[in-house]
Amino acid sequence: MKKLHFLLIGCGRISKNHIAAAAENQSQMELVAVCDPIVSLAEQKADSLAEKTGSRPAVYTDYKKALEELEIDCCAIATESGYHAEIALDCLRKGKHVLVEKPMALSTHDAQLMIQEANSRGLKLGVCHQNRFNAPIQELHKALEDKRFGKLVSGTARILWNRSMPYYEQAPWRGTWAQDGGTLMNQCIHNIDLLQWSLGGEPETIMAMTGNYLRDIQAEDFGAILVRFKNGAIGIIEGTACVYPKNLEETLSIFGKTGTAVIGGLAVNRVQTWNFEEPAEQDNHIAAMAGTDPTDVYGHGHNSLYADYIEAIHNNTQPLISGAEGIKALKIILAAYQSQKTGQAVRFDDLEFSTLDMTDSDVRYHCEEAIQ
């Protein structure tokens, strides 16, 4: 089968995972060009791929020029979050498949437009929620599909990490309403995606309290969210960038009538509890997945995510994390923002919201008085 030609748009910090995935999947794809207005970053990524595969991609500073000059099948977008929608729509309208970093967009309007544009053109839109491919998470999903949990009661997603001011100062777009959102949108979205995927994938009502306690950014550095799902299960999310002095854990817990699973560690890679009423052959093997933490919290899931995305293009099926899947975690977070702004519960299906709608909301709780 013909190798798919990819263009990588955005060569910042996460792009190393895209380069690694391109090398890992080189039998199925060729990363023919990398693009960043900061040419030195694009050159570095081109060198890095050449080292891994022996083949150096072309370097561009303008993705539109690359699209004009090269034969591209798929665009992988890894720019600042605030540019995802505009670039994705450009690429889709030029007939290219799009794999976009999380969050897929910063508003319900933009995300829905991306999904419509892809569907109407028969193109594949994928979103990088790579933790769905972590081995213990795949086993958890199989146990859910096999109904081993019985009636689902609840689940918790805890993202207890530290992001200090130097982290935000390193990339000034972070923590802004126009380009990023707060810790729920940037760091916690992965585990929020896992929670909603595990609890049935159909959120109904969202209530939240968020705030900015410690970091000098516009958006929240802490958030607590409750999600009622249409099947009745309740999801509880605790997300923070304020843990002293360093990352503590990213944990997903799922509780059903006949099963409990807790997958934690630094970035949802380690099985901590795996108890089911009905034992299964694979349980001992799964329980032994106490595992090791990945070298960084990005994990290694991009390799499998690319493989799944390429397969979806070849088979004309949907990738595991299509646009319709990727929008769910985004909407839970946008609903949480609206709930913080209005003090009201938000119905998931009715939501129309953007991070920009938070621009006039002061979420700061910096004064001692305010939190007493």
Ligand X SMILES: NC(=O)c1ccc[n+]([C@@H]2O[C@H](COP(=O)([O-])OP(=O)(O)OC[C@H]3O[C@@H](n4cnc5c(N)ncnc54)[C@H](O)[C@@H]3O)[C@@H](O)[C@H]2O)c1
What does the binding site for ligand X look like in residue numbers (CB under 6 A)? 9-14, 35-38, 41, 63, 78-81, 83, 101-102, 128, 130, 171, 186, 298
Q: Which residue in the shown chain puts its C-beta closest to ligand X? A: 12
Give the nearer residue to ligand X in terms of CB position, either 41 or 329: 41
How far apart are alpha carbons 59 and 52 in whole angstroms?
A: 17
Neighbours of 372 (CB within 10 A): 5
Nearest-approach distance from CB 144 to ligand X, in angstroms = 23
How far apart are alpha carbons 111 and 324 in whole angstroms?
A: 9
Give the nearer residue to ligand X in terms of CB position, either 213 or 298: 298
How far apart are alpha carbons 81 and 38 in whole angstroms?
A: 17
Give the nearer residue to ligand X in terms of CB position, either 79 or 304: 79
Nearest-approach distance from CB 36 to ligand X, in angstroms = 4
Nearest-approach distance from CB 148 to ligand X, in angstroms = 29
Give the nearer residue to ligand X in terms of CB position, either 35 or 336: 35
Phi and psi dihedrals of 100, rounded to 5?
-115, 145
Nearest-approach distance from CB 60 to ligand X, in angstroms = 8
Q: What's the CA dihedral at 366, 362, 183, 240 to 10 degrees?
A: 40
Under DSSP, is residue 163 helix (H, G, I), strand (E, B) or coil? Answer: coil
Q: Identify the DSSP state of 358.
A: G
Phi and psi dihedrals of 286, rounded to 5?
-70, -45
Give the nearer residue to ligand X in terms of CB position, either 93 or 366: 93
Phi and psi dihedrals of 127, rounded to 5?
-125, 140
Nearest-approach distance from CB 258 to ligand X, in angstroms = 33
Give the nearer residue to ligand X in terms of CB position, either 136 or 259: 136
Nearest-approach distance from CB 121 to ligand X, in angstroms = 21
Q: How far is CA 218 from CA 166, 173, 240, 357, 364, in A?
A: 15, 10, 15, 13, 8
